Amino acid sequence: MKIVINNHRKIFAIQEEFSVMFPELKIVFHAKPSSQGGVPSSKLVVHSSRKLQDCRSISREGTIEVMQTMSISDLKGNLRDIFGLSAEIFRKAENGEDEKPISGKHTLGEINKESEAHFAV
How far apart are alpha carbons 38 and 20 in whole angstroms? 32
In the predicted model, what is the mean pLDDT of the chain? 85
- How high is the pLDDT of residue 48? 82
What is the percent of the chain with per-residue pLDDT over 90, rounded to a whole number? Answer: 51
Residue 92 or 3, more confident: 3
pTM, to two decimals: 0.83
80-88 average pLDDT score: 91
Query: Is the distance from CB of 29 to CB of 85 less than 8 angstroms?
Result: yes
**How much is the pLDDT for 43?**
76
Arithmetic mean of pLDDT, 16-29: 94
Inter-helix orientation angle 72-83/108-120, to 10°: 130
